[in-house]
Amino acid sequence: MNLCIDQGNSRTKIAIFNREGKMVNNFIYKYFTAQDVEKLCSLYPIENSILSSVVNVDVAVVNVLHRRSKRFVLFDYSTPVPIMNGYDSPRTLGQDRLAAAVGAHFLAPNKNLLIIDAGSAITYDFLTEKGEFLGGNIAPGLSMRFKALKNQTKKLPLVEIDEKQIIPLFGKNTHDAILAGVVRGIRFEIEGYIRTLEHRSEDFSTFITGGSAAYIMANLRESVVLEKHLVLIGLNQILAHNLHK
């Protein structure tokens, strides 16, 4: 089995894949330690592992992964991937963005793809039907936009999402004006990308992932595929690609 680890700023997402590439289980850790790796390796017959991290890598975790795996990959800009990376500065490209693109390409091969990762920031990346990663854009995420309005003004309040609330077209009070401005702004932003790419690309699909993906998708009119494990799926494909090297 393959152990895939996506270590972010606030949490670590884990997935176990079998030899056929099917996810058999997944976990989320607030704090992920070497002891957690040991426990996972005792519960599952882990053969290979991959770690992607946007924070400082825990040496103890890496040492256990090396020891408990036949093949361990520490994913960085130099790691071979099964798509072509056309980014001008590969060193600065977020590993999660590249892994998500690999995952989308695996799930929808031979299609032009828009990959949206709606986390702290919202990233928009484009992958051609030939598997060429052509780059993308970075915008403030949902919570970041609410916090910016609060922190950069003197009187506007901090608005929090109520998933049950219907988003008005125009707010009739300050709370609803901020809520509608942020949520509908993101919706129009995403739909604008989709419409632009649909006119320029044949056989086009959109994937969305990330912590805010489900909420954002519920407010979209366009057809979008929600895949919350897109980065982990991509990491498993990158690991499989390196096993044949």
What are all long-range contacts of 146-152, with beta carbons under 8 Å and residues at least 24 apart? 146/178, 146/182, 149/178, 149/182
Cβ neighbours for 31, distance < 8 A, ≥ 6 positions apart: 12
229, 23 Cβ separation under 8 angstroms: yes
Q: Which two tokens stand for residue 227?
A: 């895949």
Cβ neighbours for 165, distance < 8 A, ≥ 6 positions apart: 179
Tell me which amino acid residue 95 is: Q
162 is catalytic: no
- Pairing label, strands 121-127, 71-74: unpaired
Cβ neighbours for 98, distance < 8 A, ≥ 6 positions apart: 81, 85, 133, 234
Q: Which helix (H) or strand (E) holds 100?
A: helix 95-107
Distance CA 101, CA 136 (A): 11
Catalytic residue among 6, 96, 117, 125: 96
Residues 240, 53, 145, CA angle at the centre, nearest 5°? 120
Crossing angle of helices 230-243 and 95-107, rounded to 10°:
80
Catalytic residues: 96
